Structure 1
Amino acid sequence: MKNSYLTIAGILCLYLLSYNQIHAQGCVAIRSGCGANVGGGASLQKGQWQAGTNFRYFHSYKHFRGKHEETNRVKEGSEVINDSFFLDFLMSYGLTDRLSLNVALPFVHHNRSSLYEHGGNPKEDDISTVENEFWAGDRHATSSAGLADIRLGMTYWLLDPAESTGTNASIGLGMKFASGDYRAQDEFYNQGDNKDQTILSGVDQSIQPGDGGYGVTLDVQGYHTLSNGVVISANLYYLSNPREYYTLETRGRSRDFSVPDQYAARLGALVMTPIHGLFFYGGGRLEGVPSSDLIGGDEGFRRPGYAISLEPGLTYGIRNTAFNLTVPVAVERNRTRSFSDKESGGHGDAAFADYLINFSFSYRFGKSTPVLESIQSPTGI
């Protein structure tokens, strides 16, 4: 029974690391790494530690208004481009075989290039008949980097892992701290009435390292042994940000920016391969920002929306070390209407990425239990 538990725990810890690092999705500012179970620490035994890192990257440039892609933006060269890099340092500790403490120290680097933020406003003529001429101004970039919002959480297995080897579920509660800079500034060109000024001002909400609020996270994770060599898993996550908005001066004027909630879900399966310690992962994931928050008001500017992705991946473990690579590919993107959109009757747009790259590394220590232990099947039963 013990070997069965260790095998299941080892398999799950490899890919839970990648799930719990919720990533930004272009202009829809889904923040990275807000899961309470940062690093999959729920699978640890008492007295066991797990250290890890998680790297993510995306390139967003395709604009959506609702589910409709505005392909003209790329053709015209007016698209907004976000390149974002995330690096998290993770640590988990098993307080008991069922309860773990988890902490994540995240760092980010964002680069955003656009025309409209640097004096590139369309003329009043019919832009449908003009290509690459109606945008006044040049493309320039703004950037931000540094510490993002630190997360601290605890996770508890609902069933005794030593007894329930084929099926189990965990629940996690956590805190997100407002440690990331949410007032980062950079230079904006072609500003002022004559578009001849360069000013230092707040960067776009989507590339701020922090979201400006203290939040509470809830995540539920579960797995079930479907057959010999196959384990299915499911994850649900929600971040509640009670703070409604903050005020930031951007491009010469003050503006209220929302501190929105976030949500995510994942369903997939791990399949054992003939290569010892190597597993295929396949599944789907949903990540988004709602138009209205669970707690607190909905005022302030936000770009709500969601992305649904198919997520192939590989997981490999040897002794106390584990590696995980997944590449979620978007199959549906939807920039939903915000609270202010609904009041005004409008519908804003947002840029999304085609895919993301997630790479995780973890190492266990404190006990002589390997991450993957002599796997003959994912369950051993």
Structure 2
Amino acid sequence: MKNLLLKLIYVTTIFTFATFAKANAQGCVAIRSTGGLCTMDEHPDSITSNGSWLLNSNNRYFRSYKHFVGTKEQTQRIEQGTNVINHSYTQDLTLTRIFNNRWSFAVDLPILDNSRSSLYEHGGKERLQTHSFGLGDVRLTAYAWLLNPAKARRGNIQVGLGIKLPTGNYNYQDYFYHTAANDGKTLGPVDQSIQLGDGGTGITTEINTYYNFTHSFGLYGGFYYLISPREQNGVSSARGSVPSTKAVANGSDVMSVPDQVMIRGGASYGVGKFDFSAGARYECLPVHDLVGGSNGFRRPGYIISAEPGVTYRVKSFSIYAFVPVALKRDRTQSVPDKITTNLTGVYTQGDAAFADYAINVGITFRIK
């Protein structure tokens, strides 16, 4: 019965650690990794009183190149070759200690490797690249099951509370070729979308849940919110140049430290050692933060994606692949956009580049 129950729970909950905690939005809307593992991967009844460990390695990649203002795609950017192209790769390593059938604690270390090519950042005549590589923002999270695992056989609710540390370099610099001085090179902070961190200490909140109707079919869902009290991190958005008068006037001359949100849910079905899921995913970088100010340079927006996935389970480890495919992309009006609109009387809204899809693949080990 215990093994059957574990298999049943795996059908719906294994998807949560693989994709719920990966909140890297697909493009210039700079939502970074929020952690690699949710402890819903293991049902409480399967954990002994002595506890166990979970080690998750998740790899995420996307290529963003399509520009949007609001929900309208700027197709001319690709035709003219003026679009920005971002390549983003994140390796998340997460170690979780499961103390008992109610409590667990996770530490997530993200390693990022990003590149960004454009014309406008390098004088407008030649497409050149900037890069960033290194440790991102580390996250520490405590999890607890709300319902008694001995009684909650079909479903349960898990809550998580944690802290995101500003360990990632939020002033990573590379060379831009937009001036005649220094052989045309200017050293400056790379674009916000490929910075390794945001420079703020944040509070993370999570709610994860599942419900199983049969031994093979069930539903899952999750909610994640990062509260970032710091308004700005002091890093210039001018890429080594002098900020424009417009940027200074609307506050976008310094990078913002934004909140971030993710909601996901769907259904899953188990066949043998395989678990298949189909769900929806909402990732958002809000215009306004819950705590603190919201000014500074940011590209707010959201992505709604269809999220198919498959997991293969072999004894103490699982291999998975998930590919959220964008259905709707919306670059919303930022606070600096609104300030400029008020100052000039002309409606202003910036753009952002998005990807068509992202790829998540990884493996999880359970160590007793």
1:107-137 CA-to-partner distances (Å, cap 9, x unmatched) read: 00000000010011xxxxxxxxxxxxxxxx1
- In structure 2, relative to structure 1, the CA distance for the partners of 1:43 and 1:191 (3 Å cut) is farther
Which residue number corresponds to residue 136 of structure 2? 148
Q: Which runs of 5+ in 1 are unaligned?
A: 121-136, 367-381
Which residue number corresponds to residue 2 of structure 1? 2
Which residue number corresponds to residue 238 of structure 1? 225
Which residue number corresponds to residue 107 of structure 1? 111
- Taking the aligned partners of 1:218 and 1:227, their CA distance within structure 2 comes to 30
- Taking the aligned partners of 2:130 and 2:150, their CA distance within structure 1 comes to 52
Secondary structure, counterpart of 1:315 in structure 2: strand
Which residue number corresponds to residue 57 of structure 2? 53
Q: CA deviation at 1:93?
A: 1.0
Letter of the aligned partner of 1:48 in structure 2?
A: S
1:339-360 CA-to-partner distances (Å, cap 9, x unmatched) read: 1112222100000000000012
Secondary structure, counterpart of 2:339 in structure 1: helix
Secondary structure, counterpart of 1:253 in structure 2: coil
Q: Which runs of 5+ in 2 are unaligned?
A: 244-252, 342-347
**1:258-297 alignment runs, 5 A limit:** 258-273=256-271, 276-297=272-293
Which residue number corresponds to residue 365 of structure 2? 363
**1:309-348 alignment runs, 5 A limit:** 309-345=305-341, 346-348=348-350
Letter of the aligned partner of 2:24 in structure 1?
A: H
- Taking the aligned partners of 1:41 and 1:211, their CA distance within structure 2 comes to 29
Which residue number corresponds to residue 26 of structure 1? 27
- Taking the aligned partners of 2:100 and 2:11, their CA distance within structure 1 comes to 19
Greater shift in the superposed pair: 334-343 or 63-72? 334-343
1:320-377 CA-to-partner distances (Å, cap 9, x unmatched) read: 01011111100000000011112222100000000000012000011xxxxxxxxxxx
- Taking the aligned partners of 2:13 and 2:83, their CA distance within structure 1 comes to 38
Which residue number corresponds to residue 305 of structure 1? 301
Provide the TM-score with structure 1 as the length reference: 0.87
- In structure 2, relative to structure 1, the CA distance for the partners of 1:154 and 1:299 (3 Å cut) is same
- Taking the aligned partners of 1:59 and 1:32, their CA distance within structure 2 comes to 16
- Taking the aligned partners of 1:110 and 1:76, their CA distance within structure 2 comes to 24
Would you say the 8 A contact 2:39–2:104 is kept in 1?
Answer: no
CA RMSD in angstroms comes to 1.8
- Taking the aligned partners of 2:52 and 2:199, their CA distance within structure 1 comes to 34
Name the count of aligned residue pairs.
Answer: 346
- Taking the aligned partners of 2:144 and 2:224, their CA distance within structure 1 comes to 15
Letter of the aligned partner of 1:154 in structure 2?
A: A
Secondary structure, counterpart of 2:177 in structure 1: strand
Would you say the 8 A contact 1:225–1:232 is kept in 2?
Answer: yes
- Residue from 155, 161, 167 that aligns with 1:173: 161
Q: Whose helix fraction is larger, Structure 1's or Structure 2's?
A: 2
- Taking the aligned partners of 1:220 and 1:187, their CA distance within structure 2 comes to 42
1:5-64 CA-to-partner distances (Å, cap 9, x unmatched) read: 4234434452122221211321000111347x6464664524111111000000000000
Secondary structure, counterpart of 2:57 in structure 1: strand
Q: CA deviation at 1:191?
A: 1.9
- Taking the aligned partners of 2:41 and 2:211, their CA distance within structure 1 comes to 18
Would you say the 8 A contact 1:66–1:349 is kept in 2?
Answer: yes
- Taking the aligned partners of 1:235 and 1:30, their CA distance within structure 2 comes to 17
Secondary structure, counterpart of 1:72 in structure 2: helix
Provide the TM-score with structure 2 as the length reference: 0.90
Would you say the 8 A contact 2:198–2:233 is kept in 1?
Answer: no
Secondary structure, counterpart of 1:85 in structure 2: strand
Would you say the 8 A contact 2:12–2:219 is kept in 1?
Answer: no
Letter of the aligned partner of 2:84 in structure 1?
A: V
- In structure 2, relative to structure 1, the CA distance for the partners of 1:229 and 1:290 (3 Å cut) is same
- In structure 2, relative to structure 1, the CA distance for the partners of 1:208 and 1:38 (3 Å cut) is farther
Letter of the aligned partner of 2:154 in structure 1?
A: G
Greater shift in the superposed pair: 168-177 or 155-164? 155-164
Would you say the 8 A contact 2:66–2:83 is kept in 1?
Answer: yes
Would you say the 8 A contact 1:158–1:170 is kept in 2?
Answer: yes
1:195-219 CA-to-partner distances (Å, cap 9, x unmatched) read: 9621111100000010111000111
- In structure 2, relative to structure 1, the CA distance for the partners of 1:344 and 1:239 (3 Å cut) is same
- Taking the aligned partners of 2:160 and 2:5, their CA distance within structure 1 comes to 20
Letter of the aligned partner of 1:10 in structure 2?
A: Y
Which residue number corresponds to residue 200 of structure 2? 213
- Taking the aligned partners of 2:230 and 2:5, their CA distance within structure 1 comes to 41
- Taking the aligned partners of 1:94 and 1:228, their CA distance within structure 2 comes to 25
- Taking the aligned partners of 1:11 and 1:150, their CA distance within structure 2 comes to 29
Which residue number corresponds to residue 210 of structure 2? 223
- Taking the aligned partners of 1:163 and 1:39, their CA distance within structure 2 comes to 19
Would you say the 8 A contact 2:35–2:109 is kept in 1?
Answer: no
